[in-house]
Amino acid sequence: MSSGGDERARLANVLDRELGTIGTQAVLLSQVVADRLGLHARDVEVLDILSRGGARTAGELAELSGLTTGALTRLIDRLERAGYVRREPNPRDRRSVLVVPIGERLARDMDPLYAPLERDLTELYARYSEEELSLLADFFGRVNAAVREHIARLRATAPDGSTDG
């Protein structure tokens, strides 16, 4: 018979493995969607950021995507040529522009690719009580916060582990 600590460790390992698999699957999904649309995987990831959060400045997109400003400029150029985004003056800062997703184009091209997954997830959510869904939402929110903090730590340290600055 295993102790409570052993079971907790086993479950933590299962969660770690499943979270890693989710990350890998997200990367693969971005690539498959990109291939279907004739885009790069990073393009799809930036479109996801825009579709979830609305218009952003290039600086915000660089921070959220981890891309350099130069790479992001080329990415925005590609998305603009493809008709997925447009640049608009930033009303809060005339020195910058907002990158605005073109919702109709995104819906037309991306909705058919994601709709089956969204249906599957909706069916999955229906299997859980509101209390369980609340717990899962809290858990994944905390996972996302931990990952963001880890990314910030990695960005703040040199490859040898020393802090920049």
**Please, are residues 72 and 61 in contact by the beta-carbon 8 Å criterion?**
yes
What does the chain look like in DSSP terms, one character per residue?
A: ---HHHHHHHHHHHHHHHHHHHHHHHHHHHHHHHHHHT--HHHHHHHHHHHHH--EEHHHHHHHHT--HHHHHHHHHHHHHTTSEEEEE-TT-TTSEEEEE-HHHHHHHHHHHHHHHHHHHHHHHTTS-HHHHHHHHHHHHHHHHHHHHHHHHHHHB-TTSPBP-
Instruction: Please report, rounded to a whole number, the percentage of residues in the chain having pLDDT higher than 90.
Output: 84
Average pLDDT value for residue range 134-142: 98
Beta bridge partners of 100: 86
For each of the domains in the chain, give its residue range(s) and CATH number, in order of start: 4-127 (1.10.10.10)
Tens-place pLDDT, residues 23-81: 999 999 999 999 999 999 999 999 999 999 999 999 999 999 999 989 999 999 999 99
Residue found under tokens 């649309």 = 37
Tens-place pLDDT, residues 100-119: 999 999 999 999 999 999 99
As a whole number of angstroms, the distance between CA 124 and CA 45 comes to 24
